[in-house]
Structure 1
Amino acid sequence: MGLIFLVYTLMPTHSHLHRHHQLDFANVHPHGNEFSSSISSRESRKNIERRGGNSAANWARERAHRESDEYLTSSSSESSSGGAVGEEPSSLHTAHEEEEDVHVRVHVGGEEEGGDEREERKGKEGDGYKYAIVFDAGSTGSRVHIFRFEQDTGKLVDDTFEQLKPGLSSYADEPDKAGASLQPLLEKAMETIPEGQRAETPVEVRATAGLRLLKPQTKSDDLLESVRETLKTYPFAFDTERDVSIMGGEDEGAFQWLALNYLLNRLEGGSDKKSNKKKSSHSHEEGITVAAIDLGGGSVQLAHAMDEKVAKRAPKGYSKSISFPGAKKPFEVYVKSHLGYGLMAARAATLKEANGMSSPCLPKGSDPKYIYSGEEIVAAGHEEKNSDYAACKEHVESMLKLDTSCEVDDECSFNGAWGGDFNSQHAKEVYLSSYMWDRAINAKLIPQDAIDGELTIDEIEDAAKLACDTMGDESEILTNFEGVEEKDAAFLCTDLTYIVGLLEKGFEKNDWKSVRLVKQIEYRGQNVEVAWALGAALNALASSS
């Protein structure tokens, strides 16, 4: 048992790099420091590789997942809150160095078959597994996940992940080439999936930022049509309209919710009932799911299952029906993507609350340069006073537009959004990820080598007060906090105060006193990233069965 990564690049097509590098981590203990150490998005690929190929592989997977947030910051004209594309290294939450075309295969649990043995099983009769193919078509490249599940139990066996550049949007003026650009990835799927199972294997292509930004819209339509025409030449199962599309924030939020609860074994009738018998920090009553909050750069998403009665009266646009193999019936999931309230967008909006005066959210004497959505935000700290948590929180609460009405009186969250089913048993526990995890690490609230951790909101608030009220300048922030980049030091008070305000006031009716931060989930003895692509695969398999 163990985790095996095979990392190599695609055979070159056009300008693709060609490399072949195999890394074997079958003997890495799942709880060892190398395996469970947090991979910072700020580290260079070279530095990560020095810590071991396992970390490099997780880095590639994390980068692919994080970039899916790009579409949320698409255009300032799409949101009155000003959520739009910022500077890439900040708003896209990625590493600085260029990624290379890469192939990663993650084996999860069970005995790994040898290559010859597996090939022998892959005849026309199939190999006893279910497969699902999910394409993440981002702005910088296209990625494919080929998930393999046990036929009878629905347990995840492995995820073959491969990516190449450029992205579909690069073919805006030559749309006929867009579909052809995916052929190397489709050939990988052909190689991985037995011939007898290809016709029943669902394939989905979900495009993100690159296509959403194209103007006029007919350009993105032409690119997607090219992809559909290419998929028709392959034997996989897909619906031409449903399964090839630009993914909205609500879809991503719902898929990530499904992936999280699947890996936690919270889905009644779902995966891994027998193998997760030991008690853990995630112990639970089976069938009671958790809520998920994902804080990206341009948006924040909340998703949780709703009780049936509330789901029936939910305002239009807030409910997604989502399922998984073996489900007794689909879940009705509340999901809201708050565009303009991701960490980078919220930082800009909070600083604007100062209206040209000194901001209580910035350190004394600071005059940082911050550009978001192509706009330079003019703000500075007071010349003589430290930043002030209480005053900064007032700016955050003003920016959240807490008093704005929504579709259902007395059930609003913030900025005119319906808040969902606050009283549902499925909304009592909440898991936070992405930038919330990063800032908790910065504030030393979670050990660097942890994969998750439980915190009270009071603890996060104490960290915000420390950053705002006791740090005299940016140098003190860099000295007293963990892994804060110099370019972010002036904004740590702003960021932490926003996270507190969002949880405490934005989602006030949920009344969460404690939250769980999550980087990875221990699943079948391995630490697995929570990514929307897994949720999309599960939902696709349920739809095709």
Structure 2
Amino acid sequence: MGSKAKAIASLLAATCVCSVIALILSVVNVKDVLLPPSTKYGLVFDAGSTHTSLYIYRWPADKENGTGIVSQVEACSVSGPGISSYADEPAGAGASLKPCLDKAMKIVPAEQQRETPTYLGATAGMRLLRRMWAGRGETGSTWKVPLGLVRPKVPEGREGGREGAWVSAPAAQPNPGRVWGQFSFAEQWEHPQDTEVLGALDLGGASTQITFQPGVPVQDRNTSVFFRLYGTNYSLYSHSYLCYGQSQALKMLLAALHQASSSAQISHPCYPRGYRENLTVAELYDSPCVRAPSSASPGLVLTVTGTGEPGACGTAIQSLFNFSCGAERPCGFNGVYQPPVRGQFFAFAGFYYTFHFLNLTRQQSLSEVNTTVQSFCRRNWTELVQSFPQDLKHLHTYCSMAIYILTLLLDGYKFNEHTWSNIHFSKQAANTDIGWTLGFMLNFTNMIPAEALQHVKGHQPGLWAGAVSFLVLAILAGLVAVFLQCFWKTK
């Protein structure tokens, strides 16, 4: 056989081999392959007493020592009041949540939406949650949300998300923007063994919570919480005080002033001089945290007049607490056991918002904080309205809440001038909101099995397909080389 004939034969052989390989690739089913772990998503609605927010989280399917490395993708604030206001119209609650759910559906991949865990969490004070959720069938169909695990959850007692808020607090690290609790949201996971974790101070609308890692064994098991995070066990002290959140504390204060006045005219030392408002007895006593006098007429109109007296305001707020502990064991207030506060603390939610308004979130000394609060409380209503026209809704309450926070932290939780500097007033760390929802989602990842590989359908390149492609290219390269060698030998 001549050189040209050999070259032609080699070319035909190459064509034949390529045809056979193409036939093999067309027969082999490359639709089902094993892929690396995918990203998981979770949604948590924080349904507070005054407003609702949706937090969208994600984490790799592979976990670190049993816990997912969860990070916040998005936070969406729901328009309107808290969902408890929709008690008589459950469908209205669904309509209010829909815009945030629509935003979530744009973030969570369509193929994962049906299996994405979604929780609606509310405080123990929201007794109407189950009644509202009874309309979920109708509301859910209105939303048209393809979520498979939508569950209402009412955190209550030891399950109330208090340790979740603790988890969300960043650890005292040289790089606090990266490390949270005992984990990192950055490219690598960290576990600072020799570093004490931060405590958490939360102030909601209906309740306030304190959680920290004490230096002594917790003597009361009702305040003892055990938490496992990234393979490490933690023993924490934690307690939630119902009715001592912002809105309920203000209501208790006003009710106490009303009952002390024994008339429809109420002088309020915490409200600015010149401020005046009217409300009925029924509006004042529409909460289980306050009890109306038997002689009070629900329709009676009360007139509240601010007097701007910070000293008298502090005395009135002190009357809301019982600070006596007795000789047996240390306590916070109202006889609730509490070991001495220890370590660094993050104060968020209502603590942060009030102090942020007063520009007191830069680690100012206790003396400077007191001076600022006293000065603000002495300003009259006309002056405040001119200085803060954008904050009219809550402007008259900032003095009350500032003095209330100082009373709660110093007299209630037993911080002092030496430990005050351990409190960090903050809303976020590492672009993630501090609160119970992140800890709740982390705890959720503790309860689901790790997935080393995920079975995914679709035309996806797998290891086997890559190996076949490499083999095809190698064969083709060899045949082309043989053909060219034969062809040039005929020249």
- Counterparts of 1:517-528 in structure 2, within 5 Å, are 517-521=425-429, 523=430, 527-528=431-432
Deviations 1:248-277 (A, max 9, x none): 375232212212237762534x32587699
Q: Counterpart of 1:513 in structure 2: which amino acid?
A: W
User: Which sections of structure 2, spanning at least 5 residues, go unmatched?
Assistant: 1-30, 141-145, 172-176, 288-300, 450-491
Residue in 1 that maps onto 2:166: 257
Aligned 8 A contact 2:269 2:313 in 1: yes
Q: Counterpart of 1:506 in structure 2: which amino acid?
A: G
1:190 Cα deviation (Å)?
A: 11
Label 1:460 to 1:373 Cα distance change in 2 as closer, same or farther (>3 A). Answer: farther
1:364 Cα deviation (Å)?
A: 3.2
Number of residue pairs aligned between Structure 1 and Structure 2: 372
Residue in 2 that maps onto 1:300: 208
Matched, 1:498 2:404: yes
Matched, 1:432 2:343: no
Matched, 1:246 2:154: yes
Q: Counterpart of 2:59 in structure 1: which amino acid?
A: R
Moved more, 247-256 or 534-543: 247-256
Matched, 1:159 2:78: no
Matched, 1:392 2:307: no
In 2, the alpha carbon distance for the partners of 1:444 and 1:539 equals 34
Matched, 1:413 2:324: no
Q: Counterpart of 1:433 in structure 2: which amino acid?
A: F
In 1, the alpha carbon distance for the partners of 2:371 and 2:409 equals 14
Residue in 1 that maps onto 2:420: 513
Residue in 2 that maps onto 1:192: 109
1:359 Cα deviation (Å)?
A: 3.2
Residue in 2 that maps onto 1:320: 225
Residue in 1 that maps onto 2:253: 350
In 2, the alpha carbon distance for the partners of 1:394 and 1:323 equals 42
In 2, the alpha carbon distance for the partners of 1:502 and 1:211 equals 20
Match of residue 271, structure 1, among 184, 190, 199: 184
RCO higher in structure (CA 8 A, sep ≥6)? 2
Q: Counterpart of 2:381 in structure 1: which amino acid?
A: E
Aligned 8 A contact 2:318 2:407 in 1: yes
In 1, the alpha carbon distance for the partners of 2:168 and 2:393 equals 33
Residue in 1 that maps onto 2:363: 454
Label 1:135 to 1:211 Cα distance change in 2 as closer, same or farther (>3 A). Answer: farther
Q: Counterpart of 1:298 in structure 2: which amino acid?
A: A
In 2, the alpha carbon distance for the partners of 1:191 and 1:132 equals 7
In 2, the alpha carbon distance for the partners of 1:319 and 1:224 equals 35
Q: Counterpart of 1:192 in structure 2: which amino acid?
A: P
1:465 Cα deviation (Å)?
A: 0.8
Structure (1 or 2) with the larger CA radius of gyration = 2
In 2, the alpha carbon distance for the partners of 1:157 and 1:369 equals 45
- Counterparts of 1:54-65 in structure 2, within 5 Å, are none
SS at match of 1:454: coil
Deviations 1:299-332 (A, max 9, x none): 222122345x624x3232x2333333x2322x23
Aligned 8 A contact 1:350 1:494 in 2: no
SS at match of 1:125: strand
Label 1:467 to 1:138 Cα distance change in 2 as closer, same or farther (>3 A). Answer: closer
Label 1:369 to 1:127 Cα distance change in 2 as closer, same or farther (>3 A). Answer: farther
Q: Counterpart of 1:321 in structure 2: which amino acid?
A: F
Q: Counterpart of 1:443 in structure 2: which amino acid?
A: L
Residue in 2 that maps onto 1:213: 127
Aligned 8 A contact 2:203 2:349 in 1: yes
Q: CA-atom RMSD, angstroms?
A: 4.8
Deviations 1:369-417 (A, max 9, x none): 46556487653234xxxx3222221111111222377xx9332112332
In 2, the alpha carbon distance for the partners of 1:142 and 1:346 equals 22
1:463 Cα deviation (Å)?
A: 1.7
Q: Percent identity?
A: 16
Q: Counterpart of 1:536 in structure 2: which amino acid?
A: F
Q: Counterpart of 1:540 in structure 2: which amino acid?
A: F
Aligned 8 A contact 1:266 1:287 in 2: no
User: Which sections of structure 1, spanning at least 5 residues, go unmatched?
Assistant: 1-121, 229-233, 278-283, 447-452
Residue in 2 that maps onto 1:543: 447
